[in-house]
Structure 1
């Protein structure tokens, strides 16, 4: 597998870090572990739990400081926001066009990035968790698919604490999106050893293979989170209901 084909920190990535990191130092007391599991060279995937709309920043800070800045799969709508969209494009983040004919482009671009020796970060849940206890939900197959198509390792990453800075979703029917500015909140980010997907290598990417590989990834993330929280996760993984399309019966 090739190593990195260019310097990981271009002008725009350094500019984004210069803007965001001072804010994070004001809001966050970070506690990081597991940096030794981040590959020094070669393409790889990180699979990260999602507990708050703020946590791409806290996870990104961890990953940036590891020396392997991520190319994050992010909702295409974020790329339309003035300035934010420009920074996402300039730093090489990958738009995901959900439910459109362009949806396959994200997979194509992610595979190409990994094959070029880069880190691609995936939120396997696809959205902020809807589990009542903020445990990882049932995952989508993107991370497993990229890993099995490229042969690259999947590094599980769990984080906890960003939800105390920005609540994850509306509470009590009211959209609470307040950012808690003080006191500084502790955020833990932990990377684990690569998930063993060897038993799936070389097999056709059937729905069953992708589902089993995805569950192995989610189990690794959940185990890391259970260690951070020092709690037992639920016996069954939360699966959000799919929205009913208009006109469907």
Structure 2
């Protein structure tokens, strides 16, 4: 698949990150295959998670095709970029077409990025996940790579005004060891295992994060169980806006 849009977008992002001195730490890039298809299943705490998840593939000189809601493709600014980078439009009321397109991409050897929680977590813990990532990996015989991103919510989190010029923010990206599901495996058990792996990666990223809140008003970006003021999981407002 030829890419004319992706390289300049990546270059632009690198420039932006340099200007705001964003500290991106990527661990586990060696788990992302240098060739062939794979499903990248990542946690979702910010609107920028797809950018940082994609950066984890750059060390192996690859790009990721993300599944994203169709409303982004309808935006007059973002839409042409999304189509130019060959991302996958998802209609939540009719998801079969996007599912089939994802399978085609995987069979053609592409990396497909998925956020199995289907919406951004305001509690900063992993919600119940959908089985789509597991189903795609089984159907195509491709590895399933659990991932986590932490820190992006400080720039663009759900329910807060974006602060895209905020400086010196650490971003942690971790790719875990690949799962290799087969048709013999129980899909529900695999989905539970994926959720557990995503949870463990996120918990580790949070506990090892190299920054702390600057006062009581800055504790909003930490989960409640780590002393933050994010809502507890049982009080999270669910939605379908991202």
**Is the TM-score greater than 0.5?**
yes
SS in 1 for 2:41: strand
Summarize the Cα distance change of 1:65–1:78 in structure 2 as closer, same or farther, 3 Å threshold. Answer: farther
SS in 1 for 2:56: helix
1:137-176 matched pairs, under 5 angstroms: 137-166=127-156, 168-170=157-159, 176=160
Residue 39 (structure 1) aligned with residue 33 (structure 2) = yes
In structure 2, distance between residues paired with 1:138 and 1:240? 12
1:122-201 matched pairs, under 5 angstroms: 122-130=114-122, 132=123, 134-166=124-156, 168-170=157-159, 176-198=160-182, 201=183
Shift of 1:97: 0.4
Question: TM-score normalized by structure 1?
Answer: 0.79
Equivalent residue for 1:202, pick from 184, 209, 216? 184
Q: Which residue does 1:206 correspond to in 2?
A: none
Q: Which residue does 2:216 correspond to in 1?
A: none
Q: Is the 8 A contact 2:141 2:181 kept in 1?
A: no
Summarize the Cα distance change of 1:79–1:180 in structure 2 as closer, same or farther, 3 Å threshold. Answer: closer
In structure 2, distance between residues paired with 1:62 and 1:194? 14
Q: Is the 8 A contact 2:142 2:180 kept in 1?
A: no
CA-to-aligned-CA distance 1:139-196 (integer Å, 9 cap, x gap)? 0111011011111110111111101112x222xxxxx222152332000101111125
Which shows bigger deviation, 76-85 or 50-59? 50-59
**Gapped regions of structure 1 (runs ≥ 5):** 1-5, 171-175, 204-208, 244-249
In structure 2, distance between residues paired with 1:29 and 1:238? 32
SS in 1 for 2:57: helix
Residue 15 (structure 1) aligned with residue 13 (structure 2) = no
1:74-113 matched pairs, under 5 angstroms: 74-100=68-94, 103-113=95-105
Shift of 1:65: 4.0
Q: Is the 8 A contact 1:160 1:228 kept in 2?
A: yes
Question: TM-score normalized by structure 2?
Answer: 0.81
| Length, aligned pairs only | 218
In structure 1, distance between residues paired with 2:204 and 2:235? 22
SS in 2 for 1:95: strand
SS in 2 for 1:157: strand
